[in-house]
Amino acid sequence: MMSMAIVMAGNDVRAHDDVSALDTGGAGYFYVGLDYSPAFSKIRDFSIRESTGETKAVYPYLKDGKSVKLESHKFDWNTPDPRIGFKDNMLVAMEGSVGYGIGGARVELEIGYERFKTKGIRDSGSTEDEADTVYLLAKELAYDVVTGQTDNLAAALAKTSGRDIVQFAKAVGVSHPNIDGKVCVTKSVATGGGQNKSFGMYAGVSKARTEQGDNATSLCAGRGSKHTGDNSSPNAQVLRDFVTNTLKEDGNGNWPTSKGDDTKPNDNAAAVAKDLVQELTPEEKTIVAGLLAKTIEGGEVVEIRAVSSTSVMVNACYDLLSEGLGVVPYACVGLGGNFVGVVDGHITPKLAYRLKAGLSYQLSPEISAFAGGFYHRVVGDGVYDDLPAQLL
């Protein structure tokens, strides 16, 4: 969403019939005009969100001096919702018009084009960098991990299918085994007194506490039901074991709640959320956030190179004609439309109006020079929807 207004100053040259407008005596005349109008951007409150409302934060591309690659770890997860600004339009600033006048009154059709390049959060103003135009739309899971919101993450994980959780966990195990080794680490029943360790062993069902001698658990980071350590399972199990033996391919009925006696609603979702938030370093959290965005949430990436606008306006103008006065003031009011492009290849039509005023000077009976300024505003709700996006 954004509010768009343009303030411009311009110089114009118009050529008309071989009779001066001052000497028409009421006769009509046609004219054409060419205008150089550098524009100062007043694009405010620019934001990007999914139309479904699922976007929790926008993250910019992490500039590394190389070409842009749409990979989750390439985004700056420490800079949510950066301010996206736009440069002034100083070079591509030409407009053209054709019109018809009678005396001091004129009606003209005016067509113009403006392009306001994205500044980006690291823009130096001297060079243009593609990395400053790419943004990731993060949803609930990724956002909750990097912001450390355990309860919200647990609730969001509980709504996720077991099959999706398995795909995420497998991606963690393959690409970052060090993170895999910190999540869902089973506990030992040995608490001291020279006992041997007996860590929980992942299975499809947790056994009751009364069944001594069984370390089976279906709870992430569980400890089984043994009461004394006998060294039967001396090594802790981790996330990959939880997936292989408990969740299997689709959750195996253990997601978001474990199976067996003495379980609690959504206990597995809560346990995974706790480990992802409390056991990982900030750098590891950003990796996990990226994997969640890629494997479960379908992280969407939008590239905002510039906001472009092609305007088509019908202007009603009046020249304050006066004999013997070399400089003629004029004023115009216009109504028409803008064809606004926010993402390359996607155009949205919008209603617009324009106010302009200035001075003209007749160089010859056929040619007049104009200098003035105008205010151009795109009206409406400021929403540009159905923009194309790419997936990580």
Report helix, strand or coil for 12. Answer: strand
Pick left, alpha or beta for residue 141 (phi over 0 → left; psi -120 to 50 → alpha; otherwise beta): alpha
Which 8-state DSSP code applies to residue 377? E
**Phi, psi of 74, rounded to the nearest 5 degrees:** -85, 0
The whole-model pTM stands at 0.76
Mean pLDDT, range 179-198, rounded to an integer: 79
282 membership: H or E segment, kind and range:
helix 282-292
CA distance 14 to 377: 24
Sort strands 201-202 and 216-217 into parallel, antiparallel or unpaired: parallel
Nearest Cα residue to 368 out of 89, 142, 29: 29
Domain range annotation of the chain: 5-132+303-391, 140-297
Here the tokens at position 96 are: 């053209």
Confidence band of 335 (pLDDT split at 50, 70, 90): very high
Contacts of 24 by beta carbon, 8 Å cutoff, 6+ apart: 101, 102, 103
pLDDT at 87: 86
Mention every residue, 6+ apart, whose C-beta is less than 8 A from residue 18. Answer: 365, 366
The average confidence (pLDDT) of the chain is: 83
d(CA 13, CA 372): 12
Average of pLDDT values for 26-31?
Answer: 82
Q: How far apart are CA 167 and CA 295, in angstroms?
A: 7
Classify domain 5-132+303-391 at the CATH topology level. Porin (2.40.160)
